[in-house]
Structure formats: structure tokens, C-alpha cells
Structure 1
């Protein structure tokens, strides 16, 4: 059987022939340990093998066990230890590579360690042929992907001519234009997976969205991020966007494990491809919010960011050491720094009203004035100046949004 379905092809025939020769179950997994092709059973199947056939996945614990063996770095074939508690029998594994790229693994169940040297050589020979076919297929897919990625870069870019050409290309390809469209940005970090594995998982995120909405989507992978354009036939209200984002996160956690860092940001709906750039820029700011604000639990919707939205649109690489940042550090360096910061924040938040600030902090007004004078002397900022107040409050808001990365 094949997890992809469809007609038999050369890889499937190689897998079936090898399985018949060995009299053992054989599978080919992709770099994320998802089954691509599998032979019939030979009464050697274990619970993991049965689950892979029925549910097209191994389960998070088994996947983590396989990932922990670090097969992409194996120099040659080797034995994957079993995990009885997980229902996993030992397997003989051959890493699939082409031009140094890890393409997946051939796995053969070998519970009793009875594979002979000749059988291991046969597995190596078949694996070499499978790797060559996977590499050829990847080369064709990469060429198509490169063309699509150029189109998406034009769609998201600032050059009007490139964007108009991209819109025309997508229209000609049949992508819905005059429809409810929304941009989503997904970022992934994982110390347990290679860049290639993360990229594969991100490309899978696009198929998750497409399957859920039953409409086509577009995805541009750059580093540990995928930038998506999704057609939303129903109103792209925040609840619907959050449901789609949660579905993506769940799918990525299944592929990469719960330890992976996955954050999603979505922009506002756009009614045409030519207007999607604004939604895309909003999604980039939203994913920055999801990354920096733990309270958002990994998902940020642009329309729900409120007053923080403009600040989160600032780039992560702002010039360091702004004057207002130095002023706040001067406060922090003083022995009374924590209470002076609290006083400054309260004073600004209460529209510089001394009576309201004193009540909020439960202070005598004379004590409040003393602290405000200390702040003026430490920072050189005049709290009677609207310009100075704005600079300090803006810096406090930026710092409250968490560290910039």
C-alpha cells in the first residue's frame, strides 16, 4: 500500500519486490517519519505498523522515539531499537540520501535479528534505487516550487509591477481572485529537527489548511516560516481564523512533537489578490506578537491586537539603545528603580493626574511628587513635556511586548 494512494509506480514496485524477497514488511518513510510507501504484511506486523496503515501516522511518542535515534546523521544502515511499551519492534533502517540531502528511511521489521548479510545488502541496493527515484521526483517538484515561490514573492513584495504580474499569473492558474482571502504566517523552531524536516513540516501545514477549507492555498517557505494565502469561502471572522490556526499548530505538533515551538499570525481579510499584501504585512506583525506575548498562546489575530498592533509592526531589528531606553536603564540602575518604574508607569497610565496616580499607588501626594522629581533627575526627561512623556510611555509599551528577536 501507499500512504499517497494512486497507481503503482517504480518506488512502490521496488518496495513490494524487496518485501517479497525478504518475506518481511518494508516501509519507506519521509524525513518526518511519515509513511510514503509500505508493503503488505508478512505476519510480522506490530501495533505501530498497523496504526501507520490505518491512521497514516505513528503517534507522537513513537515519532519522538525514532527522531531521537538521529537517523539523518547515521553514516550507514543500522538497527532502530524497539520500544515494547510503545508497541514498536526493532527495525533495520537505511537512510535515504542524494547529494547529501536526507530524503527519508527504508525500514524493515527485524524483531528476531535474523537478517542475513545478503539480505542487508539487498536492502541497501533497493534503498539506493529508491533514493535516486525520490531525488528525481524532488527535483521536478523543486522546479515547480521555485516558479511558484517567485510568484508569491512578487505578490507580497512592494514593487507594483511584480505584484500585478503575480496576480495575473495566479488568475491564469485558476486561483480564486475576487473572493475572501486571508494571509497567515506560521513560524516553527525545533532543536530536534533539521532545517529540511522543518521545511517539510511547514509545507504540510499548507495541505492542512487546504484540506480543512476544501479550497486551494498558496505557501512560501522561507527559513523556519511559511507565508500562506488562503481562500476562505466563509467569513474570515476571528473565531474562524483562530480555528484554522489551531488546526495548523496541531498538525505541526503531530509532525514535529509537542516540544516544537509553533506560532501563527493572521492578517485581516482581503477581497482580491491585489490587496493581499496588506493582509500579509499584518500577518507578519501578528506572528511577531504570537512569538513575544505568551498570553496569546501561540496564535495572534491582527484584528484582535488593538493598540499593540502599530508597535508590533515595528521590525525586530530596531536600532539599539534608543534615548528613552537609556533613560529607563538609568532608573533601573538606582536603588529605588523598581518603585520608580512603577510610579512612572502609573503616572503615565493615569494621564499624568497626580491625585489618581497617588490613589492607585496608595501614596501620599508629597511622596508621589518626590518620586517624580527623582525620575526627572535620573533621566533628564521632563514629565511636563508632552514629547518626553510620549517617548517614555512608548518605550515602556515596547518593552512590555517582550524581547525582540
Structure 2
């Protein structure tokens, strides 16, 4: 039966209409799981629905559970209704769900909580027709959201580049684009190894809207980079929130899109948005150092944890200006060349492993006694004192600059 003319055009009326046709509670969401409308049909609702309505957004644990069970992957692939059996771990009962599409883009979802998994052909047809009506509203909402995002992105670029220095002007612009900057913030940058394909960008965009919802204040996609403005509610969270966000983002993007690992870094915590250009520059420095020293900095994301790597570029410029050479390194290089030995590489590995003999020997695939003999030869040839922290630090820096 064709009910197209009878279907209400408003989101609220549409939810009630579907609920009456199917005889069960209905929720209409946008693509980022924010509630657009829900029906008044509220008998025997499950925990997932209750939590969603209370928060006006599907809880993150429910979204994660739906992805884990393959439900979201199917909804992003199909335009026809799907039947979903209960998922007790996230408080979800029986569901019928359908994606709302426009061309090749998912705009949102319609969910119906059913008592059983039996659905008539007419009910499925009702859902299909309702999704077409919902698309009209969700399309308008998406277009408005994109316009707002463009305004936010222009503002963020100004903050990241330090082109707005007046606190009053910053507060005025923030109100205009409806961006809250009351909390402390930092900049997180993700660097993809290649231009972001449209499908991966959709997944990445989806994740920034659904992952760590309370922390992500703004985002910018630019070529093969994703820039995030991240809120930090408590200063103690600075040690955990950005790292957790980066690791969760990487993990979930790999699971859902198959895209390879992404480099990431973040800068200082800013108590005022006027400092954001510093956090932005520091996040970039992390990425630059991770490219130059991938093994040593593989698990480093925080600029503050770069240690001596923060200053390598500045030291290199001084060395280039003064024509400096390290005599210990030159002596070992000459000795290795004549005797076909590997003392310089041994020293480099020893210092990079924090002078730990066992770890160094394991990395070099030699016996510990062999390593100790090589270290003695290094001392004999150069006179360096490997128990002197000052000498070791200087050697370590000079060796890093040679990579």
C-alpha cells in the first residue's frame, strides 16, 4: 500500500506516524546519532532507548557496540531495512533500522524497537517511504551544519595562525560561530600518509562526532591532515585525554575503513585561546620529529614528552653555522672504516637504549659480553666516559643529528 501522501513532513510527526504503523517506539537520528525526533509510543522501552532519549544522543558505548556487532557497517552499506537481534551488553532489544540516504551519502537513521523479529512487507515499505521523507529534513540540517562548520573552520585557522590577538575579538568571533571556548584547550593533528579518500574521510568525520564527544570542540580537514581543537575539562586530564583520543581514533578508523596507521601529535594545554598558535606549532613539531625519528618516537604524541628532540633543529642550525664536528664520533667512524667494525653503531644503540646493556645486546643480536668488549674498545679509542651523564647526553644529541 502506498502511504506517501499520508506521511507527515515534520520530524516529530514522522516519528509518531512510523510508530503507529509499526506499533512500536521509533527514533530518528542524524548520521552522528543525535536525536532528531522520537515517538510518543513509549511502552516497554529498553535501556539503550532510555539513555538515548535522556542524552538526546546515542551513548558512545551503544555506538561502539553496534559497530562491534557489524550493525553500523551494514547500515552504511545498505539502503533497505535490516533486522537487528538483541545485544544485551549495551541494553539493546530487537530493532528494525534503516539508513536515510541522499545519493551516495548517509544522512541519518530510523530505529524501531520491536517486540519480535517479525515484520510485514507493508511495514518494511512504510520504513522505506519514511526514510525518503526524513531525507528532505536531514538534508537541510546537513547543509546548515556544513555552513556552520565552514565558519568555525575559518575561525580556527585564525586562532591556529595567531592572527587574532585581541581577547575581546576572540570572544566575539566565538559567539558568532557558536563555539564554546570556556575550557582549557589544545591542538591535536593527525597526519595521513596520503590524501584522504572520500570513504575514509566519511569514517574519520563520523568518528570526530561520535568519539570522545565531550572533548572535541572543532575540526578541520585539509589535504592529508585532520586538525582537532580538544577541550580539557580538568588539567589532570591532559596526560590522558589526547593520547586516548589519538589511540582510539587510530584503532577505530583501522577497524572500520582498513586505512593504515596515522601519525599524530598534540601541543601544550592552553588556558586562553590566544595561546592556541603555540599548541598548533608544537603539534606540528611532534609530527616533524616522528618523521625524522620514527622508531624512537613511535609512541610519543605529546610535545612535552619529546625531550631533547624538541631542540634538535635549533642545535643543528648552530652546528651548521659554527661548522662543529664531534671528535669522538669522527674517531669511531675512522676506526670502523679501517677495521670493518661497528663501534659507532654500537654506541648509537647503547645510548638510544638508555645505556641498558641487556636491551642493547638484544637489539644488536650479540652476547652481552660482546657488547661490553665493544664498549671498552670505544672508551680506549676515544677516552669517552660513558658513566658521565653530561658526556653521554652530548654524544646522544650529536648522534641524533647524524640520522
Q: Does 2:208 correspond to 1:198?
A: no
Alignment of 1:265-280 (within 5 A): 265-269=265-269, 273-280=273-280
SS state of the match for residue 220, structure 1?
strand
Report the RMSD for the aligned CA atoms in angstroms. 5.3
Alignment of 1:105-144 (within 5 A): 105-110=109-114, 112-144=116-148
Residues 65 and 172 of structure 1, relative CA distance in 2, 3 Å threshold: same
Partner residue in 2 for 1:394: 401
Instruction: Give the CA deviation at 1:283.
Output: 2.4
Q: Does 2:23 correspond to 1:11?
A: no
Partner residue in 1 for 2:309: 308
TM-score by length of 2: 0.61
SS state of the match for residue 106, structure 2?
strand
Partner residue in 2 for 1:97: 101
Q: Does 2:239 correspond to 1:242?
A: yes
Higher alpha-carbon deviation: 60-69 or 181-190: 181-190
Gaps of 5+ in 2: 1-8, 315-332, 356-367, 383-394
CA contact (8 A) 1:195 1:224 kept: no
Partner residue in 2 for 1:20: 20
CA contact (8 A) 1:263 1:299 kept: no
Partner residue in 2 for 1:225: 226
Q: 1:362 aligns with which of 372, 377, 402?
A: 372
TM-score by length of 1: 0.61
Instruction: Give the CA deviation at 1:77.
Output: 0.9
How many residues align structurally? Answer: 332
Residues in 2 aligned to 1:277 and 1:205: alpha-carbon distance in whole angstroms: 25
Residues in 1 aligned to 2:39 and 2:263: alpha-carbon distance in whole angstroms: 37
Residues 44 and 114 of structure 1, relative CA distance in 2, 3 Å threshold: farther
Instruction: Encode CA deviations 1:5-29: one digit per residue, 9 max, x unaligned.
Output: xxxx931221122212321122224
Partner residue in 2 for 1:170: 170
Residues in 2 aligned to 1:285 and 1:231: alpha-carbon distance in whole angstroms: 21
Instruction: Give the CA deviation at 1:91.
Output: 3.1
Q: Does 2:186 correspond to 1:183?
A: yes
Partner residue in 2 for 1:281: 281
Gaps of 5+ in 1: 1-8, 211-216, 314-327, 352-357, 373-387, 397-405
Instruction: Give the CA deviation at 1:130.
Output: 1.0
Instruction: Give the CA deviation at 1:203.
Output: 4.1
Instruction: Give the CA deviation at 1:282.
Output: 0.6
CA contact (8 A) 1:348 1:389 kept: yes
Higher alpha-carbon deviation: 178-187 or 135-144: 178-187
Residues 118 and 165 of structure 1, relative CA distance in 2, 3 Å threshold: farther
